[in-house]
Amino acid sequence: MGAGVPKAFVPLAGVPLLEHALRGVLSCAAVVEVVVVAPESHRADARSIAEQVCREAASTSRVTAVVGGAARGDSVAAGLRALGAQVDIVLVHDAARCLTPVEVFDRVVAAVAAGAVAVVPGTAVVDTIKQVDEHGFVVGTPERSALRAVQTPQGFRRDVLERAHAVSSDATDDAGLVERLGERVLVVEGDPRALKVTTPADLDAAARLLGTP
């Protein structure tokens, strides 16, 4: 998918994944500020794309671009530090889930606003999942009906997310950090269109969703 090109800048139908993702973000009426976290090499490009999408959407949201860290959690922490003081609900979104529909953003925001401290969108798991040991032998089969495949945006009350990152930023997702605090994480309905684009096959699937060859 383009050696040396950060995932957010890989083109889908001729447009960077980041641009598609920002269109979804800025379609959510509750969003008042956007912080794009990018490598130093692509920070200017990220800012330019964000400003362009804002103009096209006639959005009044404040947009900034900051340099990320060595790991995913470090990048989220950097974005969190850049947010204005007035923001009390934080959405953490992966540009690789660039086709997430606005309805998912709205559901996550509404659930946090209604009192949940952490909210993630998720879809039912259709495959049977096996837990294996370090040698590859099966040690358990979780009940499929209780499993969810988690997506983004993940939503948080800001003070809770900041408290979680103050302890550690090392996790595959921010909900995991909040779970370590002993806080409950609510799952709301996700959407199949919020697929994560990480391989050429994913890129082809996303292009089909857009109706492009």
Distance in angstroms (rounded) separating the CA atoms of residues 60 and 31: 10
145: which DSSP letter? G
How many CB atoms are closer than 10 A to CB 144? 12
Distance in angstroms (rounded) separating the CA atoms of residues 185 and 148: 12
The per-residue pLDDT string of the chain (213 residues; one tens digit each, 9 = 90 and over) reads 555 678 899 999 999 999 999 999 999 999 999 999 999 999 999 999 999 999 999 999 999 999 998 889 999 999 999 999 999 999 999 999 999 999 999 999 999 999 999 999 999 999 999 999 999 999 999 999 999 999 999 999 999 999 999 998 888 899 999 999 999 999 999 999 999 999 999 999 999 998 865
Is the bond leading into 192 cis (omega within 30 degrees of zero)? no
Q: 0.85 cut: is pTM over it?
A: yes
